[in-house]
Chain A
Amino acid sequence: GESVGLHLPTLSVQEGDNSIINCAYSNSASDYFIWYKQESGKGPQFIIDIRSNMDKRQGQRVTVLLNKTVKHLSLQIAATQPGDSAVYFCAPKGGNNQGGKLIFGQGTELSVKP
C-alpha cells in the first residue's frame, strides 16, 4: 500500500534559526500535497499545499519544495519561533483507487529552544 515516511521523528532548533522538515512518499501518481501542523490537544491545521505541476511554493515564513523525481517533499520554516513548536505532517493525495484521500505520515515533532 501507499506510505509516507519522514526522515526524522523529532527536530530541535534554536529560536530564530530556519527549520527543514522532510517527507518521502511512495505513490508517483500523487498530484497534490499538504503540510499540516498539529499543536498539542488540537486538530491538524493547514499550513501550505502544493500541486505536482510546481516544485516550490512560498507562504508566510514557510516554503514547500517538491522533488517528484525522488518523491520527496520538504517544509522550510524561516526564523522559527516558539509558536512553531508542534508536530508537522505531510499528506500526499492517495491514488484514485483510494477515493483520492490524503495519506498521512507519522509526523515530525518540532521543538524550538528559546
Chain B
Amino acid sequence: EAQVTQNPRYLITVTGKKLTVTCSQNMNHEYMSWYRQDPGLGLRQIYYSMNVEVTDKGDVPEGYKVSRKEKRNFPLILESPSPNQTSLYFCASSLSSGGSEQFFGPGTRLTVL
C-alpha cells in the first residue's frame, strides 16, 4: 500500500531534550516536506527536500533540522525543543515539487513541557 508513515504518532517531552520524528514513504517520490499545524494558523511548511541531499527552508524553519540521505526517509530533528514547538506535525511527499498531489502522513502530535 502506497503510504507515508511517521513515528512516533504522539510524543511528550521536556524542553531541551533532543528528539527526532521519522518520516518514510514507499512511493519513490522525489519531493518531501514537513509541515506544522497550529489552531488558526493552518499548515505551515518547515523544511522541504527536492531530492536526496537537497533540502531547503520553508516558512518556519527556526529550531528544526532535516536530512535526506535516502530517497524514502526525511527525518525532522529538534535539537533543543521548546514549548512553542508544541504542535501537530505532518510529513508529506509527492512525485515533484508542487505540480503533483502531496500525500500526507498521519501526523505526530508533539508536546514540549
Contacts and interface: CB of A to CB of B under 8 A. Distances in A.
Given A99-B48, A101-B58, A32 B99 contact: yes
Interface stretch (A39-47, A67-75, A77-85): A39-47
Interface stretch (A14-22, A58-66, A103-111): A103-111
A43 B104 contact: yes
Given A93-B98, A94-B98, A104 B104 contact: no
A49 to B, nearest CB: 6
B43 interface: yes
Given A43-B104, A44-B104, A99-B50, A106 B42 contact: yes
Interface size class of A (residues with CB under 8 A): 20 to 34
B101 A46 contact: yes
Interface size class of B (residues with CB under 8 A): 20 to 34
B92 to A, nearest CB: 8
A75 to B, nearest CB: 15
A101 B33 contact: yes
Interface string B95-111: 01111011111110000
Contacts of A36: 104
Give the dominant DSSP class at A's interface. Answer: loop
21 contacts: A31-B99, A32-B98, A43-B92, A43-B104, A43-B105, A43-B106, A44-B43, A44-B90, A46-B101, A46-B102, A46-B103, A49-B101, A93-B98, A99-B50, A99-B97, A100-B98, A101-B33, A101-B48, A101-B58, A102-B98, A106-B42
Interface of B: 4, 33, 35, 40-45, 48, 50, 56, 58, 90, 92, 96-99, 101-107
Interface of A: 31-32, 34, 36, 41-46, 49, 89, 91, 93-94, 99-102, 104-107
